[in-house]
């Protein structure tokens, strides 16, 4: 054989690998409404940037009935998103149903190690029938190696999981540890035990979609951060997310100038109209966020889960920021178990990756009720307080309207480490709302007056004027400045510029013990 014969053999072998399970199985994948692993990679990465790793790895099992499996059911490698390096793996459902075995796992952990060592995000495209039964405990060991890396690389590099088919059993714990989970409606599912097992154990009948589909995980469990109707839409959103993030904990997100070229001093006139002065009237805080961020580009995280708290990414003067905001449109914007978990997790991600935090506050308190108390609101509410306290990135709060009770303290108050707190002139800061406080404090006077209702209203107004206005808090240094709502963006631009080089070191320790 001369060199050209060897080259021809290489090309034949590579072509076989790229066909995966063969054309028949590729057609079957398409009939399910799903793309192949390589088609997904092409959609996700910049054109022509993908470099494959370990294409010729195959399983080492001698189990009967386990045929050849090109690439051992997973495609791994690296490429670019918007010109920046990322690493990835894409499980190939056309080879062994994407089932994970020893060498399949080895390929994944190899690319995870490369991502961590090179300070670049790792993206997992999951589409797998689960553990490869024929390889027994070797498959379980493979999962363990992946879980371990998910855990120790947490906070080192961004980790993103994209569920593009089944993800069941132990396999779900890898996405659960990663920073963000994307799902496709109707074609992707996550669950620990499938419908048949649940029926055999509990008698309950449920289908895969109702048990662990994208709708369930994006609205009820909160396990999915993003969901869309098609794989194309989901992968486009992954690209969008990556552009907001730094490559590792050692970097900051890249500067991206605003397309609209808004000046830093430009007033946002519409803010006066979006937020009603009357604290009993509702509004959608996302209108506030889109008015303030560059080009109205706000990428909401967990948009369908715990909707009383809005979290997500935007840019101000070209710099990525993490935004947290109470939304009075849902549950009056109060904090409950789910919103506390959602907020705490997001805050800790931003702190890991040097993303400044801006909190827009309009909160009447933690949600009361037996269900909340018995569900552990004390423990869950403590998470958001802990997350803010521990974060060392720039932290800014803008009080739009209400800031009452323990929720005021928990939502990035000066006492727990806010760098700057601003309040609009209509803001109310108090132990509780004026209506409740006045009724308690002046109960006897109201009860004994000739016109109790008129007296109650007068006392509420008096309490609001004497105790709940922002100037009381400003006089004691708990609010740094009372600002014109229209100047909110300008104030944030100035504040972020001042805090750009902030350095704060926490007491030396192994790690804290967040109330989980």
**105 carries an active-site annotation:** no
Rounded to 5 degrees, φ, ψ at 433 are: -60, 150
Catalytic residue among 79, 169, 333, 334: 169
Catalytic residue among 131, 253, 387, 407: 407
> Please, what's the b/e burial string for 337-371 (b: 16 or more CB within 10 A of its CB; e: otherwise)?
bbbbbbbbbbbbbbbbbbbbbbbbbbbbbbbeeee
Rounded to 5 degrees, φ, ψ at 42 are: -65, -35
Query: Which helix (H) or strand (E) is 365 found in, with range?
Result: none
**406 carries an active-site annotation:** yes
Q: Which two tokens stand for residue 331?
A: 């549950």
Alpha-carbon dihedral angle through residues 58, 63, 68, 74, given to the nearest 10 degrees: -50
396 burial type by CB count under 10 A (0-12 exposed, 13-18 middle, 19+ buried): buried
Catalytic residue among 375, 406, 417, 436: 406
**365 carries an active-site annotation:** no
Measured from the Cβ of residue 19, the count of other Cβ atoms closer than 10 Å reads 16
Length of the chain: 516
**142 carries an active-site annotation:** no
Query: With contact defined as beta carbons under 8 Å apart, do 386 and 426 qualify?
Result: no
Catalytic residue among 119, 136, 155, 170: 170
Q: What is the DSSP letter of 368?
A: P
402 — alpha (psi -120 to 50), left (phi > 0) or beta?
A: beta
Residues with Cβ within 8 Å of 395's Cβ and at least 6 positions away in sequence, in order, are 356, 357, 359, 388, 412, 417, 418, 419, 420
Residue 338 and residue 372: Cα distance in Å, rounded?
Answer: 10
List active site positions. Answer: 169-170, 406-407
């Amino acid at each position: 054989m001369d060199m050209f014969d060897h080259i021809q053999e290489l090309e034949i072998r590579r072509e076989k690998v790229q066909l995966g399970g063969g054309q028949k199985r590729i057609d079957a994948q398409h009939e399910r409404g799903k793309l192949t692993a390589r088609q997904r990679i092409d959609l996700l990465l910049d054109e022509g940037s993908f470099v494959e790793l370990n294409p010729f790895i195959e399983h080492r099992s001698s189990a009967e009935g386990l045929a050849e499996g090109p690439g051992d059911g997973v495609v791994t490698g690296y490429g670019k998103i918007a010109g920046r390096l990322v690493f990835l793996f894409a499980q190939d459902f056309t080879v062994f149903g994407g089932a994970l075995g020893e060498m399949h796992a080895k390929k994944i952990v190899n690319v995870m190690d490369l991502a961590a060592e090179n300070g670049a995000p790792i993206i997992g495209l999951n589409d797998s029938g689960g553990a490869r039964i024929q390889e027994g405990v070797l498959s379980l060991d493979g999962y363990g190696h992946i879980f371990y890396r998910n855990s120790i690389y947490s906070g080192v590099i961004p980790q993103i999981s994209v569920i593009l088919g089944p993800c069941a059993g132990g396999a779900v714990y890898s996405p659960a540890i990663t920073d963000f989970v994307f799902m496709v409606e109707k074609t992707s599912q996550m669950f620990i035990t499938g419908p048949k097992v649940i029926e055999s154990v509990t008698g309950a009948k449920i289908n895969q979609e109702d048990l662990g589909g994208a709708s369930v995980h994006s609205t009820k469990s909160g396990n999915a951060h993003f969901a869309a109707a098609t794989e194309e839409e989901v992968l486009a959103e992954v690209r969008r997310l990556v552009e907001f993030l730094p490559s590792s904990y050692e970097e900051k997100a890249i500067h991206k100038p605003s397309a609209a070229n808004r000046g830093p001093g430009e007033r946002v006139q519409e803010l006066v109209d979006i937020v009603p002065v009357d604290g009993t009237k509702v509004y959608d805080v996302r209108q506030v966020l889109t008015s303030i961020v560059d080009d109205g580009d706000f990428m909401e995280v967990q948009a369908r889960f715990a909707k009383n708290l809005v979290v997500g990414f935007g840019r101000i003067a070209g710099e990525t920021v993490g935004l947290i905001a109470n939304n009075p449109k849902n549950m009056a914007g109060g904090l409950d178990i789910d919103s506390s978990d959602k907020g705490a997790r997001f805050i800790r991600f931003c702190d890991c990756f040097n993303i400044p935090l801006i909190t827009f506050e309009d909160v009447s308190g933690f949600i009361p009720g037996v269900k909340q108390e018995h569900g552990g609101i004390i423990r869950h509410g403590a998470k958001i307080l802990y997350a803010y306290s521990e974060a060392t990135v720039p932290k800014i709060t803008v009080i739009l309207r209400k800031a009452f009770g323990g929720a005021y303290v928990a939502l990035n108050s000066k006492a727990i480490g806010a760098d700057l707190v601003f309040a609009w002139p209509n803001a109310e800061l108090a132990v509780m709302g004026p209506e409740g406080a006045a009724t308690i404090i002046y109960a006897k006077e109201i009860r004994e007056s000739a016109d109790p209702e008129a007296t109650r209203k007068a006392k509420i107004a008096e309490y609001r004027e004497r105790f709940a206005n922002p100037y009381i808090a400003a006089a004691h240094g708990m609010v740094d400045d009372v600002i014109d709502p229209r100047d909110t963006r300008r104030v944030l631009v100035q504040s972020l510029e001042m805090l750009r080089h902030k350095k704060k070191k926490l007491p030396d320790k192994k790690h804290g013990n967040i109330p989980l």
